[in-house]
Structure 1
Amino acid sequence: MDQVRQIPVFVFPTMLKFYTSSKHTHKQLITIYNPYDFTIKYKVLCTAPNKYNVTDPEGSIRPQSCIDLVVRHTMPISANCNGVDKFRISIHDNTTKQLLGKRDVESKLLVGEGDNVSEDGDNFHNLPHSDRTPEDPHHQSLLSQRQKSLQSEKTNYLAIGAAIVCIAILMLPTKIEVVEENANIPHYLHPTQTFKIGTAYALGMLTLLIFRQ
C-alpha cells in the first residue's frame, strides 16, 4: 500500500495563553486554514480535555477557506497554572479519511492579567507622554514664530524683486528725452515723467520695507 504524502497544516496562533485574572482571555480563537484546491476534514484533540471546551472539534473546510474554532478554558484556577497542555489539529482526506498532516498548538494558563505580555514573554508598558505636545502653548509659540519667519523671508524676496524692477524702470529714458536714432531701446519702453515719479515713490516704500525685515 502506498504511503500518503504528508502536507503542511496551517494554524494560527501556534500558542494560546490564558490568564487567571483576565476573563476576556478565557475564550480564544484557533483558525485552521485550507489553502488547497480540495476539501479537507479536520479533527481537534487535546491532552487535557477536562480543562477546555472547543466549538466544532470536527468538521470540514472548503478549498481556499478557513474556519475559526472557539476555545474556552473551563478551569482557570491557580492550581492549573504554568503547565503546558496541547491541542493537536489533524487534517484528513475528505473521501478516504486518511491522515494528511497534523500540527500541535500549545496552551498555557498563567497567573495575572497579562494585558501587556507579548507572545515571546517580553513585558510591554505604556510610554510616558511627552512634556511638549502639539497642544503645549510653548510648542505652539515656536511653531508660530517659525511660520512668521518663513513668511517674512518670502515677503523680503518679493520686495527685493519689485525694487529691482523699479530701478530698471527709473533707468529708462522718458518720452521727453531726446533719443538717438540708433538707440536700441524701443519707443514703448520710454515711460512718462509722472510714471517715473510714482515708480520712485514705490521704490522708496519698498526700501523701507526691506530694511525693516
Structure 2
Amino acid sequence: MMHQGQSSPDGIQETGRVRKKDRHAPSPSAAVVGHPKSQDSLPVFLFPTELVFYAQEHSSHRRVLTFYNPYSFVLRFKVLCTAPALYTVVEAEGNVRARSCVDIVVRHQDVSSRNWGRRDRFRLEVSGGGQRGTREIWAELRGGEGAEKPLETPQGRAAPPMSSAAMFPPGVLNPDRGRDASLFALYIVVGLVCITCLMLPLHSEPSPLVPLHIHVTVMQKLVCAYILGLLTMVFLR
C-alpha cells in the first residue's frame, strides 16, 4: 500500500518509497523530456508523457516510467502524486548515477467503475549539480480494454484480425515483409544514434575521453530524447 507523506501547496503528495538498483545502459524505451517550470533550470528526461490504465485489461494496471540521467553528476529524485491512496509506486525516491536510468513502476490500486475517467497528476522532482527540475504527467483510468475490438462478421460473430502473412499462401512472397524489415532496421539505427547522443557529454562538461568537437548541447539531447520516445511508441504498438 502507498504511504502518504507531506503534501505540497497544490495537493501533490509524496508516494511510497521502495528502492531499486539503477541501470547504466539505457534500453530502447527512451525518455521524453518535459519542460521545467520557470524557477527550474534542469531539463528532466522521462517517458512516457502520460499513464493510461484500463479497468478490464489486467496487464495495464501496472505501468513503467523510465527516468534518464544524461548528465555527468548524480541526480536525486522524488515522485509525488495528487491521489497517493490510489497508486503504489516502486522507486518513488532515490538517486540515479551519471549517464544512467531507472524504472519507476506505478500500479493502480482501485480500478472500480467509480474511478473510471478519473485523472490524477504525478510530479517528478529532480535535483543535482546545484540545479533543480520538475516534470508532471497525467494518469487516467479508463473503462474497458485498451486493445482494439475484433471485427464483426455478417453473422455477428467476432472475426480475428487478418495479418498480411495470412493473405499470402506458403511460397508466395509477402511484399510487406521486406518493407517492414527495412523500417525496423532504420528505427534501430536511429534509436542507437539517439542513445549515443544522450550518453555524450555536454559542451560545458570537460571529458578526457571524448573530444570536444563531438560534445553536444542540451537542445540536441532534448531532440534525441523526443525521437526515442516516438520510436518506443512505435515498438509498443
- TM-score scaled to structure 2, two decimals? 0.48
Please tell me whether residue 77 in structure 1 is matched to residue 109 in structure 2. no
TM-fit CA distance, 1:133: 1.5
Write the deviation string for residues 43-99 of structure 1: whole angstroms up to 9, x where unpaired: 0000111100001211000000000011010011111011211110010127x6xx6
Q: Secondary structure at the match of 1:50?
A: helix
Q: What is the Cα deviation at residue 126 of structure 1?
A: 3.4
Looking at structure 1, the residues matched to 72 and 165 of structure 2 have their Cα atoms a distance apart, in angstroms, of 52
Alignment CA distance shift 1:23-1:61 (3 Å): same
Show the 5 A alignment for 1:171-182: none
- C-alpha spacing 1:111/1:39, structure 2 compared with 1 (3 Å): same
Stretches of structure 1 lacking an aligned partner (at least 5 in a row): 118-124, 141-213
Output one character per residue of 1:95-152: Cα deviation in whole Å (capped at 9) or x when no partner: x6xx6100011101000011239xxxxxxx934668852338xx79xxxxxxxxxxxx
CA distance in 2, matches of 1:108, 1:50: 15
Moved runs in structure 1, 4+ residues, more than 2 A? 125-132
Residues in 2 aligned to 1:73 and 1:90: alpha-carbon distance in whole angstroms: 21
Count of aligned pairs between the two proteins: 126
**Cα pair distance change 1:92/1:132, threshold 3 Å:** closer
**Is 1:108–2:133 an aligned residue pair?**
no
Provide the rounded CA distance (Å) in 1 between the counterparts of 2:167 and 2:80. Answer: 55
Looking at structure 1, the residues matched to 84 and 110 of structure 2 have their Cα atoms a distance apart, in angstroms, of 11
Q: Which has the larger radius of gyration?
A: 1
Instruction: Tell me if 1:54 matches 2:86.
Output: no
2:31 counterpart residue number: none
Residues 77/60 of structure 1: CA separation in 2 closer, same or farther (3 Å cut):
same
Residue number in structure 2 paired with 1:179: none
2:185 is matched with: none
CA contact (8 A) 2:40 2:134 kept: no
Amino acid in the other structure paired with 2:118: G
Q: Is the counterpart of residue 126 in structure 1 residue 158 in structure 2? A: no
Instruction: Name the aligned partner's letter for residue 136 of structure 2.
Output: D
Alignment of 1:61-210 (within 5 A): 61-93=96-128, 100-116=132-148, 126-127=161-162, 133-135=168-170
1:42 matches 2:77: yes
Greater share of helix = 1
Quick one: higher RCO (CA 8 Å, sep 6+), 1 or 2?
Answer: 2
